[in-house]
Amino acid sequence: MIPQNWLVEGIGYLAAAANVFVFTSNTMIPLRIAAIFANCLFAAYFFLKGYYPLFALNAFMAPINVFRLNQMQRLISDMRSASSAASAGEFDHEWLRPYMKPLNLPQGFTLHRKGDLSEEAYILVRGEVSLLEPGVTLEPGAFFGEMGLFTEENRRTATAVASTDVELLCVRYDELLELAAQDPQFGFYLMKLMMKRMQHNIEVARAGGRVRQERSDEARQRS
């Protein structure tokens, strides 16, 4: 039979070991889990020892760490959802409306040209917009114009022309950065969308290079 004081001291040593793991962990989720175990064990240890202020401190910290752990797990889940949405080209823009201003443009209007200074991004609500350089037609629900935020000197990477009468929502880059900082899901969506656009541009450039090479080979054969 283990004496009761040995059991109490054993709880204290386990609490100390969990606390050491808290300070050596490199990632947040294992850190929070270890902190919860350490708080619970320390709370039991200090209660059995009669150190009630320290018991109260750890009893108070345990639910805080549980709350932070749930926050981190929700954040990871939101980031995975954002990643899937960006890969599928889906984006729910309704929550952005209060931060954006409406803009209506007639058919044939040039929204911006490649190389223009860019300060705003857009959501296409109604109609179609053509991006001339990559040869892409955007449909309602598309989020575009954000690439200028990441380019040197904030320059546009494509010319955008209204293929039909269009209704847009526009947001300035400074507000876009604030939203990305406040909502990690939206920030992660922007990163995924940017990478997807860059991969598309690379594929278009490679396809254009193959076409030019084929034409060059045909021209040499004719000569």
Residues 102 and 77 grouped into a single domain: no
Amino acid at 42: F
In CATH, what number is assigned to the domain containing residue 199?
2.60.120.10
Residues 83 and 121 grouped into a single domain: no
CA dist., res. 158 & res. 134, Å (int): 7
Residues 166 and 60 grouped into a single domain: no
Per-residue model confidence (pLDDT) at position 115: 86
The pLDDT tens digits for 143-202 are 788 777 777 778 888 899 999 999 998 888 887 777 776 666 666 666 766 666 666 555
Residues 99 and 208 grouped into a single domain: yes
Residue 220 lies in a domain: no
Residues 65 and 116 grouped into a single domain: no
The pLDDT tens digits for 55-102 are 999 999 999 999 988 877 776 666 566 556 555 555 556 666 777 889
Residue 162 lies in a domain: yes
Chosen domain end from 87, 113, 137: 87
* Total of domains in the chain: 2
Residues 98 and 204 grouped into a single domain: yes
Residue 39 pLDDT class (50, 70, 90 cuts) = very high
Residue 218 lies in a domain: no
Residue 191 lies in a domain: yes
Residue 217 lies in a domain: no
Would the pTM count as exceeding 0.85? Answer: no
CA dist., res. 95 & res. 82, Å (int): 14
Q: Residues 169, 101: contact at Cβ < 8 Å?
A: yes
Residues 112 and 188 grouped into a single domain: yes
Residue 49 lies in a domain: yes
Chosen domain end from 71, 87, 103: 87
Residues 101 and 144 grouped into a single domain: yes
Residues 144 and 55 grouped into a single domain: no
Residues whose CB is less than 8 angstroms from the CB of residue 100 and which lie 6 or more positions away in sequence, other chains included = 123, 169, 170, 171
Residue 33 has pLDDT above 60, yes or no: yes
Residue 43 pLDDT class (50, 70, 90 cuts) = very high
Residue 223 lies in a domain: no
Residues 98 and 208 grouped into a single domain: yes
Residue 116 lies in a domain: yes
> Where in the sequence is the domain holding 40, given as residue range(s)?
4-87
CA dist., res. 76 & res. 27, Å (int): 13
Residue 210 has pLDDT above 70, yes or no: no
Residues 154 and 118 grouped into a single domain: yes
Residues 14 and 79 grouped into a single domain: yes
Q: Residues 151, 173: contact at Cβ < 8 Å?
A: no
Chosen domain end from 63, 87, 111: 87
